Amino acid sequence: MRKATFLLRRQRFAELCLTSPPLLALEYLQTTLSAVVDHSDQAEAEAFRGCMTSLLTAPPRADVDMGGSVASLASWGGGAAGGANGGEGVEGVDAELEATLYGDRQALFERLVEEFVPRGEGAEGEDLRDLCTGGR
């Protein structure tokens, strides 16, 4: 469960680097993402250290008053914690970037399913709704 949380938070951080002011992304890295990193896992620790590269190479964004903190990220222009805005796209993001974010989220979903969902016989072609609801 911790590893899945790390993967989700790392994706959220990558999105913040592209859609939010750098200070918000940095605060998220220092507080929320760093809290779930297993530094004894060399690959995960390296992935975490690589997050700073994402922040430093991100396109420039306007800065905001940091009085809000990470807790206010859901109300800031990037939308809810990683979710689309009622099917209308991510607020304040152009169509090309939105398509990139969608592809990244899809790849993350596929990785989570591959690593964490038990696959038995006949799992191929399984309906996504059944996978998410447990067949209910």
Whole-structure pTM value: 0.65
Strand spans (E) along 12-106? none
In a domain? residue 123: no
Q: What stretch of H or E contains 113?
A: helix 95-116
Query: What is the extent of the structural domain holding 53?
Result: 2-63+70-104
Q: Measured between alpha carbons, how far is residue 39 from residues 2, 20, 24, 116 in Å?
A: 12, 27, 23, 21
Amino acid identity of 136? Answer: R
Please write the tens of the pLDDT for every residue from 2-29.
Answer: 888 999 999 999 999 888 888 999 999 9
In a domain? residue 51: yes
Q: What is the CA radius of gyration of the chain?
A: 16
In a domain? residue 134: no
In a domain? residue 26: yes
Q: Coil, helix or strand for 50?
A: helix
Please write the tens of the pLDDT for every residue from 53-104.
Answer: 888 888 776 555 555 555 444 444 444 334 444 444 555 568 888 898 999 9
Residues 13 and 120: their CA atoms lie apart, in Å, by 33
The total number of structural domains that make up the chain: 1
